[in-house]
Amino acid sequence: MTSSDDPGSGALAGLRPRLPSPLREVVDERFARRGVRLLLKRDDLIHPELVGNKWRKLAPNLAAAAGRTVLTFGGAYSNHLRATAAAGRLLGLPTVGVVRGEELAGRPLNPSLARCAADGMRLHFVERSAYRRKSDPGILAAVLRAADAVDAYVVPEGGSNPAAVRGCRALGTELVGHADVAAVACGTGGTLAGLAAGAGAGMRVLGIPVLRGGFLADGIRDLQTGAFGGPRGEWSLDDRFHFGGYARTTPELTAFAEDFEHRHGVPVERVYVAKLLYALVALAEENAFPRGSTVAAVITGRPFPG
Ligand SMILES: *Cc1c(COP(=O)(O)O)cnc(C)c1O
């Protein structure tokens, strides 16, 4: 690990994470009757504002930014933009959020973007086709010029670069010896890429993509190659639980999430965590987990506004 990857380094002391995050068993008869133990890995408790996997992914990038302006990308409800803005306020770093959708520029900010702005993030709205092509170096350079941030430290959309993936390795090592299966919801898959590397051989890592499309596995292999030089760990994806795509939901999923909150007293974030927990209950019903096994569900976030 290089020192710039070390989230414990002095510059980040103001972030005060709760690490390792708590790991708690919950008794849920839908698992118990199959002889399966369910653990909740409470990454939602790592930090009140840099919630969950966002802390693990951002911390090494904030260290690498070394005081420069941090610029990143997201949609109008992005958890990643809110976390970056909060980090900027806590560390005294200037932040710029490049937001998808030029048409949002003249309108009142939604609660998520309003929180970003209140934390001091400068918002720069970009037309959708340019936003889509932002990894093209020419387009990126034009966006940085237009945002008046040519010297910024750039973190990609969703925050998944090699430093972020290495930052998520600790999530896996924290579970070694406690779980046979670790399960996590996937957006970019950066969290799973790091988790699987830290978990190593002997733990199965299961990813539940919340986006439609079924192209995520290649992206995760690329992220692992970028972060570690090659594939790591024993992971797989189950593409059946996206409920129509990103931020889509159904009455059944909403009812499931409310019921889970009542049973276990844990707030269930709806875009990612609800789909993960739903998937695990369905898989238990299919006898996908051997009797006697322990499954750890990573609670990667918390509802906003909470
Ligand atoms: C961002 C986010 C994820 C997705 O993480 P990836 O590393 O992009 O797969 C999962 N859960 C929550 C709550 C998130 O905010």
Q: What is the pLDDT of residues 101-122, one digit of tens each?
A: 999 998 999 999 999 999 999 9
* CATH number of 12's domain: 3.40.50.1100
Say if residue 21 is in the same domain as residue 80: no
Query: Does residue 62 fall inside a structural domain?
Result: no
Domain boundary, last residue among 87, 117, 151: 151
Query: Does residue 61 fall inside a structural domain?
Result: no
Position 10 scores a pLDDT of 61
Average model confidence (pLDDT) across the chain: 94
The ligand 1 atom nearest the CA atom of 184 = 10
Position 193 scores a pLDDT of 98
166-189 pLDDT per residue, tens: 999 999 999 999 999 999 999 999
Say if residue 146 is in the same domain as residue 176: no
Number of domains in the chain: 2
122, 239, 139, 130: which is closest to 189 by C-alpha? 239
Query: Does residue 305 fall inside a structural domain?
Result: no
Say if residue 171 is in the same domain as residue 143: no
pTM above 0.75, yes or no: yes
Say if residue 229 is in the same domain as residue 192: yes
The ligand 1 atom nearest the CA atom of 193 = 7
Domain boundary, last residue among 93, 122, 151: 151
Mean pLDDT of 119-148: 96
Q: Which of 3-7, 94-98, 215-219, 301-305 has the lowest mean pLDDT?
A: 3-7
Say if residue 232 is in the same domain as residue 284: yes
Does the pLDDT of residue 15 top 90, yes or no?
Answer: no
Say if residue 14 is in the same domain as residue 99: no
Say if residue 143 is in the same domain as residue 271: no
Query: Does residue 290 fall inside a structural domain?
Result: yes
Domain boundary, last residue among 151, 183, 214: 151
- 186 CB near ligand 1 (under 6 Å): yes
Query: Does residue 227 fall inside a structural domain?
Result: yes
Query: Does residue 267 fall inside a structural domain?
Result: yes
Say if residue 170 is in the same domain as residue 271: yes
- Alpha carbon of 190 to ligand 1 centroid (Å): 8
- 75 CB near ligand 1 (under 6 Å): no
- Alpha carbon of 54 to ligand 1 centroid (Å): 7
- Alpha carbon of 79 to ligand 1 centroid (Å): 8
- Alpha carbon of 300 to ligand 1 centroid (Å): 6
Q: Which domain holds residue 47?
A: 3-52+161-298
- 78 CB near ligand 1 (under 6 Å): no
